[in-house]
Amino acid sequence: MEYIKDCIAYVGSIFPMVNPFSTVPLFLSLTARMTMEERVKLGDKACFNATVIMLVALFLGTLLLHFFNISVPSLRIAGGLVVSFLGFSMLFPSSHPDGIDPNSASQSGVNYSVIPLAFPSMAGAGSLATIMTISAINASKESWSERVYSYTSSSLAIIIVGLLCFLVLRTSNRIKKFLGPEGIDAMTRIMGLIMVCIGVQFIATGVGEFKVVHDQKYNQPIFVHQIHRAPAPTDSPFLPIDRNNTAQKEEEISEAPQSAPEESGTVKNADNPQ
């Protein structure tokens, strides 16, 4: 049951980034002069290519991060900025958001199953940044069992997202007739708002992790090394307070004045024996 919940959570994070509904107008424009069989083949290849691109980003994203020495908090912040920017572009779309004229594209014989349908329309910068963040989080798990669990659940979520994209493109004509241009535009804007919210959450989480890493790097380890190298004075404000030692010292101080008269009395008795 927990595995299903994690898969659903991953799907909920990745699917708004992929957003196949925003690909429907571009897909229909690119395949306007194609037969139904050619349109189905192109949609199937585009979904397959997008799924492969996302899986490669999931399993090789951590290696790229280590190669370029990029931390998880910085990736969260950068991914949040990219996702927020793409979300704003979906909230306020332009005439040709992918930089392609559909009328001229549909007349050429170029295969568009990779560019622009798979990348950047479905597996774009926002989805890849999200998946690479998930990959970094999976790699940071302590035990191998947790890593295998995280990678399998996230891989299954990516495959489910690919199947959802497959269904959306297969039924693109029905979706366009049912929703109409205004319905597709409204759904695209709703997905854009969700992407902006996810991007802001990424940024907030990354800033919080940066603060934790900064505190651990510049406060605790430095003083610990100083303590091990040279004994610091007991009144140093950076040393942890040992309650037992302080209490024992207070008891010794409180007992010291009481033992002084006894010692002086013994000396007096030794000088004047009776």
Walk along the chain (274 residues) and give the pLDDT tens digit of each residue.
Answer: 788 888 999 998 899 888 888 788 778 777 767 788 888 899 999 999 999 999 999 998 878 878 888 877 787 788 778 778 877 877 887 655 444 444 444 444 557 788 778 887 788 777 888 898 888 888 888 889 889 999 999 999 999 999 999 999 988 878 777 877 787 778 778 877 877 887 888 888 888 888 887 777 666 544 444 444 444 444 434 334 444 555 555 555 555 555 444 444 444 444 454 4
Radius of gyration of the chain from its Cα atoms, rounded to whole angstroms: 32
- The pLDDT value recorded for residue 254 is 56
Which residues lie closer than 8 Å to 200 by C-beta, 6 or more apart? Answer: 80, 84
- The pLDDT value recorded for residue 115 is 77
Q: Against a cut of 0.75, is the pTM above it? A: no
Task: Indicate the domain borders of the chain.
Answer: 2-221, 241-274
Of 107, 130, 102, nearest to 34 (Cα)? 107
- The pLDDT value recorded for residue 124 is 77
Q: State the DSSP code for 274.
A: -
What does the alpha-carbon distance between residue 134 and residue 113 come to, in Å, rounded to a whole number?
Answer: 26
- The pLDDT value recorded for residue 152 is 93
- The pLDDT value recorded for residue 95 is 58
Question: How many residues does the structure list for the chain?
Answer: 274
CATH number corresponding to 2-221: 1.20.1250
- The pLDDT value recorded for residue 167 is 93
- The pLDDT value recorded for residue 208 is 86
- Residue 161 and residue 20 in contact, taking contact as beta carbons nearer than 8 Å: no
